[in-house]
């Protein structure tokens, strides 16, 4: 199972690499405005936000639903070819891609945490970071047309879906469905400051995930160098994922989350203040180890620790942070970049700072 999980993360996050590094540039080449790009890239996060509420209403993330999502995932990638030039068709394609992304990862994450534990999670998850960096370094050399980016996207989606299918069939013991009583115990309102902080943290990433490539190349940094910046951040992320096991075991998870948010405040401010200084940009990218790798691992481990219904907590983490937060971040950053481009990453630093304030108000509690 460990080998399959490692392969899954490798190819899944290779898809994310194509999607966040190159697809914005492809859309830019088709003369989409910054606000339109923000809306298009916000479609998948919107689906991530909506789906967890359907599970509260009775939808079950079982093997059948999971495998159906794999079919939708592949079909949406195929649809990109005929919809790339048409805004509304492309929006629909992104929505269905979001369905696949939203259902696949939470299902696999729960299997990972239960089968290998939080201490070893990082050493398996780091293969996702390797996949991200490898696809970035390969595609930057061959991205001579939009079709090439779409070819890579389709190949990776098919490969990821096949591996995910193998994992789902290998995992014979299905998760016991939570009772209605357990679902009632899961309350976003009761932990509002925690969830608000997590959402705002992801909103701060909107500028980075959707416009970092455009932002830097518009300011004279070459596409090759921009990819090197992406790759360096992921290399540092890999180091953190490999070494973080002891941190997650011996330190308070909530404090690690707060610390990673503070690192993000600094990171985004440096990109705003020094957008063309490569030495500072590389340093800011080194903070990706904290603002993404440590934040993600500490957060999913913390939610797994404090909630009884483990699968639902992971679905809401994906839905509210990468979903609502990702959608809001994409749309907000799109409009900011269109009208106030120089202040794009200052806004990210502000959102991360407000996230830290909410997390400071949150009081740690035991499992509920």
pLDDT category of residue 184 using cuts at 50, 70 and 90: very low
User: Which domains does the chain carry?
Assistant: 2-361 (1.20.1250.20)
The model's pLDDT over 199-241, given as tens digits with 9 standing for 90+, comes to 999 999 999 988 898 899 999 999 889 988 988 998 898 888 8
359 falls in which pLDDT band (50, 70, 90)?
very high
- Predicted confidence at residue 336, as pLDDT, reads 93
Question: In the chain, what is the straight-line distance between the N-terminal and C-terminal CA atoms, in Å?
Answer: 30
pLDDT at 181: 39
Kindly report each contact of residues 310-315 with a partner whose C-beta sits within 8 Å and lies 24 or more positions away, as own/partner: 310/110, 310/113, 310/114, 311/61, 311/106, 311/107, 311/110, 311/175, 311/178, 312/52, 312/55, 312/56, 312/178, 312/183, 312/186, 313/186, 314/106, 314/109, 314/110, 315/51, 315/52, 315/55, 315/61, 315/106
Q: What is the mean pLDDT of residues 67-76?
A: 91
Structure tokens at 100: 């696949």
Report the residue count for the chain.
Answer: 368
Are 311 and 175 in contact, with CB atoms under 8 Å apart?
Answer: yes
Predicted pLDDT at 269: 97
For 12-16, which contacts have Cβ atoms below 8 Å and span 24 or more sequence positions? 12/104, 12/105, 12/108, 12/128, 12/131, 12/160, 12/164, 13/128, 13/129, 13/131, 13/132, 14/131, 14/132, 14/134, 14/135, 14/156, 14/160, 15/153, 15/156, 15/157, 15/160, 16/128, 16/132
Angle between helices 192-204 and 344-361 (to 10 degrees): 160
367: pLDDT confidence band, cut at 50, 70 and 90? very low
- For residues 271 and 27, the model is more confident at 271
Q: What is the pTM of this model?
A: 0.75
Q: In percent, how much of the chain has pLDDT > 70?
A: 90
Q: Would you place residue 175 in the very low, low, confident or very high pLDDT band (cuts 50, 70, 90)? A: very low
Averaged confidence pLDDT in the chain: 84
Q: How far apart are CA 85 and CA 79, in angstroms?
A: 12
Q: Which residues contact 319 (CB under 8 A, 6 or more apart)?
A: 48, 49, 50, 51, 52, 53, 102
Average pLDDT over residues 8-24: 88
Work out whether the CA dihedral 112, 115, 121, 125 comes out positive or negative. negative
């Amino acid at each position: 199972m460990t080998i399959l999980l490692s392969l899954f993360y490798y190819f899944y996050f290779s898809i994310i690499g194509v999607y966040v590094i190159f697809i914005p540039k492809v859309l830019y080449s088709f003369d989409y405005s910054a606000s339109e790009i923000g809306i298009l890239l916000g479609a998948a996060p919107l689906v991530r936000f909506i789906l967890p509420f359907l599970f509260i209403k009775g939808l079950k993330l079982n093997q059948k639903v999971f495998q159906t999502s794999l079919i939708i995932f592949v079909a949406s990638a195929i649809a990109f070819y005929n919809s790339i030039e048409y805004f509304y068709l492309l929006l629909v394609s992104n929505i269905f891609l979001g369905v696949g992304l939203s259902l696949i990862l939470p299902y696999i994450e729960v299997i990972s945490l239960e089968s290998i534990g939080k201490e070893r999670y990082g050493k398996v998850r780091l293969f996702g970071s390797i996949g991200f960096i490898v696809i970035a370094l390969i595609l930057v050399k061959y991205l001579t047309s939009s079709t090439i980016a779409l070819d890579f996207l389709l190949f990776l989606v098919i490969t990821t879906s096949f591996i995910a299918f193998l994992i789902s069939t290998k995992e014979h013991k299905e998760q016991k469905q939570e009772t209605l009583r357990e679902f009632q115990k899961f309350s976003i309102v009761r932990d509002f400051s925690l969830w608000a902080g997590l959402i705002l943290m992801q909103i701060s990433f909107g500028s980075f995930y959707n416009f970092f490539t455009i932002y830097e190349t518009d300011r004279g940094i070459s596409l090759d160098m921009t990819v090197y910046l992406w790759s360096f951040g992921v290399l540092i992320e890999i180091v953190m994922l490999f070494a973080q096991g002891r941190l997650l075991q011996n330190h308070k998870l909530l404090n690690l989350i707060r610390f990673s948010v503070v690192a993000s405040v600094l990171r985004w401010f440096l990109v705003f203040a020094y957008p063309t200084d490569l030495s500072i940009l590389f340093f800011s990218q080194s903070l990706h180890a904290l603002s993404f790798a440590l934040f993600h691992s500490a957060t999913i481990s913390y939610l797994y620790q404090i909630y009884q219904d483990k699968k639902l907590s992971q679905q809401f983490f994906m839905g509210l942070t990468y979903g609502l937060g990702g959608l809001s971040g994409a749309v907000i950053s799109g409009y900011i970049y269109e009208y106030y481009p120089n202040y794009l990453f200052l806004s990210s630093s502000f959102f991360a700072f407000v996230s830290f304030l909410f997390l400071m108000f949150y009081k740690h509690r035991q499992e509920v």
